[in-house]
């Protein structure tokens, strides 16, 4: 953006004038928790990125996937060769036992999970300087510290990432490292609001394995902040740690469980997505964190429902507004300026200002007046390129 001018100001000679009278301009939206390669093939990946871009999303943060594919998409998105938000992506660090997870096999096809540059198993003997350098070489924008790591390793890895200029994006609870220990180690963001509730368990779960996790006392957590959560919120507020909320994924898990149960044949073995906590608790804690002054960013961790032509971030924003009771202007900040902070402190994103990227959306209705008005995006501009909503055709390939 080269200049901002008051209404009625003369345009520079030779400038193209686009009449957007009566429209509402907002900074381009930022989804701080996606998984590009969760889609079944590249056509579906492209369709999902188009659904985001034509819905006003100009940047996303991929929180782990196959970096060989993601880096290709990120390059083409940055150059405008692909209709997609800009893609920032994480390299993942976790204890060796975590890589038995089938999801990690899928994100390293043809190679060994935990032994590829973008996805590394960590032990006390690991050369952390080399680990972070390999992630940087793979194009990672940040280090995601995920699971099965001690507080000592988390502190050392965070320090090394900072030394090499990468932000640290921590899982809400790293097990056995607690959320508060991750904050004290210097994490820039924490993901998944409900995982922060594990701060209340003493001792903390020994590992990410579901069998090692004790049940959360949801009844205790549903009132005013309990002392453990109050201390966590205060530490996050004081250090400027961003909470990547992902409340929408808890709604998605509950919907999937209901659909799979209804579709199961009598006597058929069930595989149901695990419940971390109820969506009710997730939304309550999201509001609690906001009232405590914690910075929130709008991460989804799940795409929109099949057939919805609008991106999943709108679902996250509606949960913030309707279920968590967060003010509309704060909701918009979560999806813009706070999102820019979460993806690495990018001062060129999340705002409409001289020197910022030309990333913004025009809406036909006031997005602060009614929640449904977010779905009135008429035009997305990303890096100065125009993407008119009227040109978008939802292929369904992403759903």
Q: Is the pLDDT of residue 398 over 60?
A: no
In a domain, 10, yes or no: no
Residue-wise pLDDT for 323-355, tens only, equals 999 999 999 999 999 999 999 977 889 999 999
Using CA atoms, how far apart are residues 250 and 302, in angstroms rounded to an integer?
9
In a domain, 346, yes or no: yes
Confidence of residue 101 (pLDDT cuts 50, 70, 90): confident
Q: pLDDT value at position 268?
A: 66
Using CA atoms, how far apart are residues 123 and 301, in angstroms rounded to an integer?
28
In a domain, 228, yes or no: yes
Number of domains in the chain: 1
* Token code pair at residue 57: 């999303």
Residue-wise pLDDT for 243-290, tens only, equals 999 999 999 999 988 888 888 777 665 666 667 789 999 999 999 999
Q: pLDDT value at position 213?
A: 82
In a domain, 19, yes or no: no
Q: pLDDT value at position 261?
A: 83
CA angle (15, 21, 23) in 5-degree steps: 115
In a domain, 342, yes or no: yes
In a domain, 50, yes or no: no
H-helix or E-strand spanning residue 387: strand 385-388
In a domain, 223, yes or no: yes
**What's the rounded mean pLDDT across residues 209-229?**
91
In a domain, 301, yes or no: yes
Q: What is the CATH number of the domain that holds 197?
A: 3.20.20.140
Using CA atoms, how far apart are residues 192 and 253, in angstroms rounded to an integer?
13
Give the 3-state secondary structure of residue 47: helix
Q: pLDDT value at position 399?
A: 44
SS3 content of the chain, % helix, strand, coil (to 5): 40, 15, 45
pTM for the predicted model, two decimal places: 0.95
Contacts of 6 (CB under 8 A, 6+ apart): none
DSSP code at position 185: H
Q: pLDDT value at position 273?
A: 65
Structural domain span for residue 322: 90-261+273-352
Q: Is the pLDDT of residue 51 over 80?
A: yes
Residue 210 sits at φ, ψ, to 5 deg, of: -60, -30
Name the nearest CA neighbour of 173 among 252, 88, 248, 277: 277
The DSSP bridge pattern shows strands 115-116 and 119-121 to be antiparallel
DSSP code at position 331: H
């Amino acid at each position: 953006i080269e200049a901002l001018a008051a209404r009625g100001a003369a345009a520079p000679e030779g400038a193209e004038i686009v009449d957007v009278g009566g429209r509402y301009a907002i900074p381009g939206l930022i989804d701080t928790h996606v998984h590009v390669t969760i889609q079944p093939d590249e056509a579906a990946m492209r369709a999902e990125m188009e659904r985001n871009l034509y819905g006003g999303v100009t940047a996303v943060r991929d929180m782990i996937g196959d970096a060989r594919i993601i880096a290709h998409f990120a390059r083409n998105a940055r150059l405008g060769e692909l209709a997609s938000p800009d893609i920032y992506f994480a390299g993942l660090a976790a204890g060796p036992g975590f890589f038995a997870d089938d999801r990690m096999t899928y994100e390293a096809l043809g190679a060994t999970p935990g032994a590829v540059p973008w996805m590394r198993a960590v032990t006390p003997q690991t050369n952390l300087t080399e680990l972070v350098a390999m992630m940087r070489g793979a194009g990672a924008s940040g280090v995601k510290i995920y699971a099965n790591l001690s507080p000592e390793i988390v502190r050392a890895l965070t320090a090394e990432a900072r030394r090499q200029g990468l932000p640290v994006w921590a899982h809400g609870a790293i097990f056995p490292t607690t959320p508060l220990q991750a904050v004290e180690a210097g994490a820039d963001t924490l993901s998944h609001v409900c995982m922060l509730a594990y701060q209340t368990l003493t001792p903390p779960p020994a590992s990410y394995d579901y069998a090692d996790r004790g049940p959360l006392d949801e009844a205790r957590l549903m009132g005013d902040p309990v002392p453990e959560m109050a201390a966590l919120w205060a530490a996050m507020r004081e250090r400027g740690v961003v909470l990547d909320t992902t409340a929408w994924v808890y709604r998605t898990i509950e919907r999937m469980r209901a659909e799979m149960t209804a579709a199961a044949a009598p006597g058929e073995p069930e595989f149901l997505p695990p419940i971390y906590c109820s969506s009710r608790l997730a939304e309550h804690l999201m509001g609690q964190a906001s009232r405590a002054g914690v910075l929130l960013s709008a991460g989804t961790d799940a795409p929109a429902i099949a057939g919805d032509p609008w991106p999943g971030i709108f679902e996250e924003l509606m949960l913030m507004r309707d279920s968590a009771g967060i003010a509309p202007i704060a909701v918009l900040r979560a999806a813009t300026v706070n999102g820019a902070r979460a993806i690495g402190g990018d001062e060129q994103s999340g705002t409409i200002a001289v020197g910022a990227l030309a990333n913004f959306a025009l809406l036909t209705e006031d997005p602060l007046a009614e929640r449904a008005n977010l779905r009135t995006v008429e035009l997305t501009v990303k890096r100065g390129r125009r993407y008119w909503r009227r040109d978008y055709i939802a292929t369904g390939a992403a759903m």
